[in-house]
Structure 1
Amino acid sequence: MTARLPSAAAATAYQRQWFADLHRAVADGAPLALVNADAPQEIFRAMGIPYVVNQWWASIVTAKRRAQDHLARLRDRGYPDYTEQYSSLSLGSAFDSEPATAPWGGLPKPSIVLAETTGDASRKIFDVWGEQEDVTFYPLESAAADRVPERWWELMPHRWEEAVGTDRIDLLTGELEGLVRFLEQTTGRRFSGQRFAEVMALVNEQEEWNRRTRDLVAAARPCPVAVTDSIPAVMIPQWHRGTEWARDAARRLHDEVAERVAEGAAVCPGERSRLMWVGRGLWFDLDFYRRFQERHGAVFVWSMYLAIAADGYLRYGGDPMRALAARFAAFSDQLYTPPWSAEWYVKEARAHGVDGVVHLVSDDARGSWATTRALRAAGVPVLELHADNVDARRSDPEHLDRAVGEWLAAEVA
């Protein structure tokens, strides 16, 4: 097995230092936003308002084996601990009586939370946040469209108005302009159109590097990088989109992968099967992905994190605020809503030459059935694992290993 990617280790080290600095800034009176992963973070970047990504914090809590503590705090207060856990874990931090003992020193208290209202449970999680003292919930609408573009990933970079639809972009643009006014009034920070345009340009540069990296991995035989490296190397810079550091981190990842491809490096020298992981990262058991390399020569060559960075973010031309609205108005569709999502997963499976797909289906998943059906119709074996990516109570590792191992033997090998 190849050594860990230096870019993955560097990104994790950067994030630790950034979070320590964030603690000090908030203690000194800086505002703090808690934002969902699919929220338009670029506005906060342009205004110099620090933010923590809700799902990133949930991944840290889970990886440090503290998810059940957080869920228990919700349960003790009469809130459900069995739905939308990925979004609600951070809320458990709000009820932590000893935050200093939490992972990485705990989550500083935000002054604003930002989320798209994608469902009843999600909306209520953030309504509870908004009930906390000195915390304001700023909701964004979740709009739908009755027309779905074919091969949306080809349209998005330059023809995003056509791909997403004018009505959806108009709605979110108006909401983002309202968000800017709200932030100016409540934080005293000023919004600069010039600075915002610079942020948007840096994001495009970053995602171009991610696109090149995705294409390298898709074409490489054997697989040169482990998903447990590519996920942090991609996603930590994603949470810092719009900075030169994030752009340069994406370039470093690309250059390291390119070097490994040129050398013929292999994550698994005895690679026999190429697998695709559809779903969120299994944060409570990251060794899961490596175990199948060792036992079956089966390598996970794909996760949504690098792929959506490559296809989901690029937006060129037009008014920068409308371009940002176009980046997020249909973001959830790209990952979860058929046929947007289903056609994209099939495209990615073919491009990466996978022999099978392990599909993590959570209780709150939207459109999972269509993804499985589309992949199977394309001739790709699919195993559905019904589990939650941060809540291990119904996800015994031995059961997961046995299910995947038997599927590999019966349908893939």
Structure 2
Amino acid sequence: MTGRLASATAATAHQREWFARMREEVEGGAPLALVNADAPQEIFRTMGIPYVVNQWWASIVAAKRQTPRYLGLLKERGYPDYIEQYSATSLASAFETDPAQAPWGGLPKPTIVLGETTGDASRKIFDVWDAQPGVTYYALESAAENAVPERWWELMPHRWEEAIGSTRLDLMTGELTGFIRYLELTTGRVFSETRFREVMALVNEQQEWNRRTRDLIAAARPCPIAVTDGIPSVMVPQWHRGTEWARDAARAFHDEVRERVDAGVGVFEDERLRLMWIGRGLWFDLDFYRRFQESHGAVFVWSMYLAIAADGYLRYGDDPLRALAARFAAFSDQLYTPPWSSEWYVKEARHHGVDGVVHLVSDDARGGYFTTRALRAAGIPVLELHADNVDARKGGDLTSQLSAWLDELGGGKA
């Protein structure tokens, strides 16, 4: 068993330092944005506006075992504590009653929240944010296209217009143009196209490194890193996309994985079952991913975070704003809408040579049935865990469920 990745430790330390600096900036009068993970954060990066990713903050709260308290703050005010907990956790921060208990000093109140209008519950969460004093919700449409591209992951870097559709891109490009003007008027900051092009180029460099890392891990036997190291190593830099630090962090992650692969190092040398985890990270129990190594030789070799960084973000083109629209116009489709998502998961399962898939199905999951069906049709065993990734009250004994399934799959003591 290997020690923790230096890139994971460095990324976590960087995020703590950044968060402390950001809190000081906001206390000094800087605007703050709260943005969904699938929102065009590159605009804020270009304009020097600090932002916090909604779902990242929820993961920190869950890792600190604070989610029940935060959901309780919602329930006390008459809001449901059982719908879209991943997105609603940050909203509960607006009602914080004991800042001393809050992780990392607590989430400062944002001046703007940004997200797509995906689903009734999500829209209502943002509407409650909009009702808070000094907070504005800027909504982006969630559009769809009847035509579905085959093997979209091959088209996206350069042929994204073909993959997504011009009408859909026209809509989001127009929305982003209006959003930039709104930020300029309300913050006094200027959007520089020269700076924007630099940001977009750095993002593409970063994702090229992520693609190389994904392919290294897919080919390696045994798996060189733990999923719990891979997630911070790829995702903390993702939240800082468009910076040289993020680009260099992605390269350092790749180089560290390369060294382990070349040395034949595995996260668990007696690897007998290769598993794929589909769904959001199980933030309240990250030890879960390594719990079955000794008992079943089972190693999680895949999570969506590195894989979507490798396939979902690269966008080249002469029009940087339209390329940014292409990065996010179909982002949810890539992860959640069949056949976009289901075909991609089958491709990734085969690419990584997995023996089985553990599929976390939350109450708000979209397309989960089709994902499981596609994988099983491809001959890949699937265990569905019906639970929430931040709310430990749901799902029952996940450890026992997975252990029993692994016994059937052929794990157990060597």
What range is the shorter-chain TM-score in? over 0.9
The within-5 A match list for 1:42-121 is: 42-121=42-121
Provide the C-alpha distance between the structure 2 equivalents of 1:401 and 1:73, rounded to a whole number of angstroms: 29
| Distance in structure 1 (CA, Å) of the matches to 2:322 and 2:3 | 42
Q: Measure the CA separation in 2 of the matches of 1:142 and 1:102.
A: 33
Look up the equivalent residue of 2:282 and give its one-letter code.
L
What does residue range 202-217 of structure 1 map to in structure 2 within 5 Å? 202-217=202-217
TM-score, length of structure 1 as denominator length: 0.99
CA contact (8 A) 1:355 1:412 kept: no
Q: Take 1:247 and 1:394, find their aligned partners in 2: how far apart are those partners?
A: 37
SS of residue matched to 1:200: helix
Q: CA deviation at 1:224?
A: 0.2
Matches within 5 A, 1:368-407: 368-396=368-396, 399-407=397-405
Whether 1:154 and 2:175 are equivalent positions in the alignment is no
- Report the residue type matching 2:398 in the other structure: L
Contact 1:275/1:302, CA 8 A, preserved across alignment = yes
Return the offset for 1:97.
2.1
The CA distance in 1 between the partners of 2:168 and 2:193, in whole Å, is 22
For residue 412 of structure 1, report the CA deviation from its aligned partner: 4.4
CA contact (8 A) 1:93 1:99 kept: no
Q: Which residue of 2 aligns with 1:135?
A: 135
1:317 deviation in Å? 1.1
> What residue is the counterpart of 1:195 in the other structure?
195
Residue in 2 aligned with 1:281? 281
Give the distance between the partners of 1:282 and 1:116, measured in 2 at CA: 24
Name the SS of the counterpart of 1:392 in structure 2.
coil
1:150-209: CA deviation from partner (whole Å, max 9, x where unpaired)? 000000000000001001110000000011001001100000000000000000000000
The 3-state SS of whatever aligns with 2:357 is: strand
Q: Is the 8 A contact 1:114 1:140 kept in 2?
A: yes
AA in 1 matched with 2:217: V
**Do structure 1's residue 329 and structure 2's residue 326 form an aligned pair?**
no
The alignment status of 1:301 with 2:301, answered yes or no, reads yes
Task: Give the letter aligned to residue 270 of structure 1.
Answer: D
Scaled by the length of structure 2, the TM-score of the pair is 0.99
Matched, 1:14 2:19: no
8 A Cα contact 2:224 2:260, kept in partner:
yes
4+ runs deviating over 6 angstroms = none
Superposed displacement of residue 294, structure 1:
2.1
**What is the letter of the counterpart of residue 252 of structure 2?**
R
1:328: how far off? Answer: 0.1
Shift of 1:411: 2.7
Q: Distance in 1 between matches of 2:149 and 2:327?
A: 15
The secondary structure found in structure 1 opposite 2:291 is: helix
Task: Provide the identity percentage.
Answer: 76
Q: How many Å separate the matches in 2 of 1:81 and 1:56?
A: 19
Opposite residue 408 of structure 2, the aligned amino acid is A
Report the 3-state secondary structure (helix = DSSP H, G, I; strand = E; otherwise coil) of the residue aligned with 1:299: strand
- In the alignment, structure 2 segments of 5+ residues that lack a partner are none
The structural deviation recorded for 1:394 is 1.6
How many residues in Structure 1 have an aligned counterpart in Structure 2? 411
